Amino acid sequence: MLKKEFTYRGKTMEELKKLSLNEFIKLIPARQRRTLSKGFTEQQKRLLLKIKKAKDGNYKKIIKTHCRNLIILPEMIDSVIYVHSGKEFSQVRINEEMIGHYLGEFVLTRKRIAHSSPGVGATKSSSSAATKKK
């Protein structure tokens, strides 16, 4: 079965990578459009520069960031970024489907809680059951 070519709002990946930032802003949803139209922070600019250098092969270190509010742009595709979850850095491999989303959406800040079964003496029923066995 043939793999369907990825498109974002009717544009292929090649077309998206050729777009300027202002043209790309017109394609994304309103919340992301308002965020990008304000411009990048210094932290976001440094991160984008590191990603660009890594793509060219000039940056050998792993890319770590606390910047969870950066919107994923087409030039970030196929890169690996370690995003801070509040406790540790989690690896995020960016692919086409992530365009227009925030980096923080892919790194959860809370762990799932899984409780085990209660022990002896944890409930009143377990203590009454222990006295009946005597």
pLDDT digits 0-9 by tens, 82-106: 999 999 999 999 999 999 999 999 9
Q: Is the pLDDT of residue 119 over 80?
A: no
CA distances from 5 to 14, 19, 79, 97, 101 (A): 11, 18, 19, 12, 20
User: CATH number of 7-109: 3.30.860.10, 3.10.20.30, 3.40.50.2000, 1.10.3720.10?
Assistant: 3.30.860.10
Banded model confidence at residue 34, pLDDT cuts 50, 70, 90? very high
Which structure tokens are listed for 71?
């919107």
pTM: 0.78
Alpha-carbon distance 92 to 76, whole Å?
11
Rg (CA), the chain: 23
Domain ranges of the chain: 7-109
pLDDT digits 0-9 by tens, 120-134: 777 776 555 555 655
So what's the pLDDT on residue 120? 75
So what's the pLDDT on residue 2? 77
Q: Which of 55, 58, 100 is nearest to 81 (CA)?
A: 55
